[in-house]
Amino acid sequence: MSEKTPSWEAARRVVPPRARSPRRPSNVFVGQARRFDADLEAVAVARLDVVPEGARGVPESHALAPEASRVTWTARRGGRLPAGMRWRQEAESRFVVEFALAAGVRCLGLGELYRGSNRRGQTHVLFSSDDPTQTESTPRMYKAIPFLILEDGEQYVGLFVDSPAPQKWSLGNDLSELGRVELLTRRGFQLYVMGPASLPQVVGAYTALTGRSPLPPRWSLGHQQCRWSYPTEKRLLEVAREFRRRRIPCDAVVADIDYMDDYRVFTVSRERFPTFERMTAKLSRQGFRVVTILDPAVKRSRHDATYRSGTAHDVFCRTAAGDPYVAEVWAGKSHLPDFLREDVRKWWGEHLRFFDRMGVAGIWNDMNEPALFNEPAPLDTAVGELPPDDRQLFLQRPPEGPVGHFEVRNLYGSQMARAAYEALLEHRPNERPFVLSRSAYAGHQRFGAVWLGDNASWFEHLRLSIPMLIAMGLSGVPFCGADVGGFGHDADGELLARWYQVAIFYPFLRNHCALGKRPHEPWALGPETERHVKRLIEARYRLLPYFENLFHEHRATGAPLMRPLGWHAAGDATAREIDDEFFLGRDLLVTPIVHRGHSRRAVYLPAGKWHPFDGGEPLRGGRYHDVAIGYGTVPAFVREGAILPLVEPVQHSGEIAGADLTFCCFGRRAAGVYREDDGQSLDYQLGACDEWELEWARGELVAEPTQLGFGGARRRYFVSDGLHRWRIELPR
């Protein structure tokens, strides 16, 4: 951390938090505040537009989905907030929202934070940062998603502060019963209160507003193999070959920064990747996609074509003095494109054609907080004021006009990902884009996937990946994962095997490892580990149709794939507090080992009957069970009454469409919905999807088609009751 910015703890000593001051600061607000109401998917939503004196209306929201413009809002008199929330302006650039946190109220969501899923009792700064320390006291993370869900028993209320300006959320620290958001802005902002309603309803309303994830290409749901770095094309080909030789399923190999020439964007080192295009073509024949990393910063060098073009098109962020801002990053002195401008996103998108020529399938956006080696923590949020525009590193130009970087910093990552997402849509008509991002703002789900950045090869980070990814889903972003095996430090066989037991249920599944750390590809830590990991990755592929169905469900309802136990067991107070188990969809309950040296654990099962995924007698829910979990087993239970679609093991997702599929029926009666599409095109948006309602009773499966728009799958279908398996036809 830089000298300029003391740690949060140090800052607290210097500047006591407002909440502790005996006198309540007065409200200095003199602008306009207007309240509007609407119903969003049957949830009551109140919106407050706050426009400070001198501001020209609320700035354009980058969180809202285009569809949200169709919502009808009714104006209400006055600027009051529902659910006992209060707001005021305390200083020229400081707004405060306060709300009661009665004893027992839990705080969920709020994006990314290295802690458990109840955010209560914590301070969280929303100011996108690349802080690799990642411990319980890390206050800032890569992503900034200002959406919190208050849980009071079975009642949930969502609070969304739609502003990319720095925010500090204090959620009842020091055992107080007060929640408080400090927002450092001079521009207007919008604030939404949703509910009270059920948890699925609140997330449904939030994603109706901020959008839902498009269906990912099927291949991107397979296993991806990465490391910093596979530095040559020879090495990348070798890694791919190992997967096929060892018959471990895999869909993508990933090239980290060393594929570039001198870390310059849109280049390839011909020394290390002499035939990059031929390499991607060869890999594609073996069923592999190639994903490449892409950083935002453009090297300041007259020899660099992107730099020359960027200068000619005036795309770079400028300081108040009018010079392009100089960032220190991998390529040395560089400039940052201003992705808040539509013309700049288009310009960037044109340069992305480079990857089409190279045969690259997906784009991995890194360093897009943006991370700056020269300014690792550019703002001290503890001072509670925003520096003037001309002292915020540089200016940016959102649609409303120039503004200091800090006030819009939280948008940088998502707008960079958006540029890639929109470019891929344009360059590859009718192909689903795959875009991965480290930084994100609210609404990011519309542009693709995120991962949790630089975790470590620790059981602690394996354990935390569960509540962190659950929080990501509750914050609207369902397509998420964490580096499997851990990025920093060295993994060992036990950690890797245990990690895969959780990771095969991450929506985004990628093995990654930092420079200089012990390799942990599935085979790198010995034959025992390899055997377990192979079996687990096979299980992931068997479940791919289930994953794809969950993405369809997300599009219809906003439901994330990874869900806290309370999602399906709202009335169960024990279930609601569990952080080391999760639902994947409605029918799978994942109960992994997350501690070193453990071979068994207390598994809590909510009401109902639960069947071990790998077979065996069902267990009764509503209580804890002591369960042994070996390394190679799939640590999950299937809900009685579920129909799980499982395919035969394959080597990559390209083989899924032709693979035999079995509807596994659990219990005497079961029901479900099954959908099928081509897994790659956008035709599903025009109805090219088949859907059946399934009912299993008296030893028979009845499939009722409810939509037949695809008709493309050519595979055999089977039914299994656990003892027998027989072939069926799906009516079309």
Nearer to ligand MIG, 371 or 647 (CB): 371
Q: Which of 501, 471, 473, 469 is nearest to 485 (CA)?
A: 501
Residues 521-538, buried b or exposed e (16+ Cβ, 10 A)?
A: bbbbbeeebbebbbbbbb
Question: From the CB of 713, what's the least distance to ligand MIG, in Å?
Answer: 36
Q: What residues have CB less than 8 Å from 257, skipping those under 6 apart?
A: 228, 229, 263, 293, 295, 330, 366
* Alpha helices (H) in 314-391, listed in sequence order: 342-351, 353-358
* Residue 366 falls in the annotated catalytic set: yes
369: annotated active-site residue: yes
- Which residues face 319 on adjacent strands? none
- Please spell the DSSP secondary structure of 443-475, one letter per residue: TGGGG-EEE--S-BSSHHHHHHHHHHHHHHHHT
Name the residue nearer to ligand MIG (CB basis): 211 or 453. 453
Contact assessment for residue 588 and residue 549, using Cβ atoms and an 8 Å cutoff: no
Residue 702 forms beta bridges with which residues? Answer: 695
- Shortest distance in whole angstroms from residue 330 CB to ligand MIG: 7
Is residue 360 within 8 Å of 378, Cβ to Cβ? Answer: no
Task: Count Cβ atoms below 10 Å from residue 271 Cβ, excluding itself.
Answer: 8
- Specify which residues 125 forms β-bridges with: 140, 168
224 closest CA partner among 419, 495, 481, 424: 481
Report the number of secondary-structure helices (H) and strands (E) in the chain.
15, 40
User: Tokens standing for 225?
Assistant: 């193999």
Q: What is the dihedral of CA 387, 388, 392, 395, to 10 degrees?
A: 150
State the residue number with the nearest CB to ligand MIG: 228
Which of the residues 304, 454, 676, 677 is marked catalytic?
454
Torsion of CA 148, 151, 157, 162, to 10 degrees: 0
Nearer to ligand MIG, 370 or 679 (CB): 370
- DSSP-based three-state secondary structure for 300: coil
SS3 assignment, position 62: coil
The residue (of 165 and 367) whose beta carbon lies closer to ligand MIG is 367
Q: Which residues bind ligand MIG (CB under 6 A)?
A: 228, 256-257, 293, 366-367, 438, 453-454, 512
Which 8-state DSSP code applies to residue 532?
H
Q: Find the angle CA(576)-CA(582)-CA(586) to the nearest 5 degrees.
A: 95
Nearest distance from residue 516's CB to ligand MIG, in Å? 11
Residue 712 CA to residue 515 CA, distance in Å, equals 44
Cβ burial of 427 (10 Å; 0-12, 13-18, 19+) is middle
- Measured in whole angstroms, the distance separating CA 98 from the mean position of its chain's CA atoms is 28
> Across the strands, what pairs with 191?
48, 161
Could you list the beta-strand ranges (E) of 101-212: 106-109, 123-126, 147-152, 155-162, 167-171, 178-184, 189-197
Angle at 643 between CA 638 and CA 646, to 5 degrees: 85
The string of DSSP letters for 218-234 reads GGGGSEEE--TT--SHH
Q: Among 369, 380, 407, 581, which one carries the catalytic annotation? A: 369
Tell me if 386 sits within 8 A of 93, measured CB to CB: yes
* DSSP secondary structure letters along 262-284: TT-TT---TTT-TTHHHHHHHHH
Long-range contact set of residues 686-692: C-beta below 8 Å, sequence gap at least 24: 688/712, 689/552, 690/730, 690/732, 692/730, 692/731
Could you tell me which residues come within 8 angstroms of residue 510 by beta carbon, excluding any fewer than 6 positions away?
Answer: 223, 224, 225, 226, 254, 451, 481, 483, 484
Instruction: Output 373 or 624, the one with its CB closest to ligand MIG.
Output: 373
Among the options 131, 182, 366, 380, which is catalytic?
A: 366
Find out whether 336 and 328 touch, Cβ atoms under 8 Å.
no
314 is catalytic: no
Question: Can the peptide bond before residue 137 be classed as cis, meaning omega within 30 degrees of 0?
Answer: no
Closest among 206, 163, 217 to 560, alpha carbons compared: 206
Residue type, 708: L
Catalytic residues: 366, 369, 454
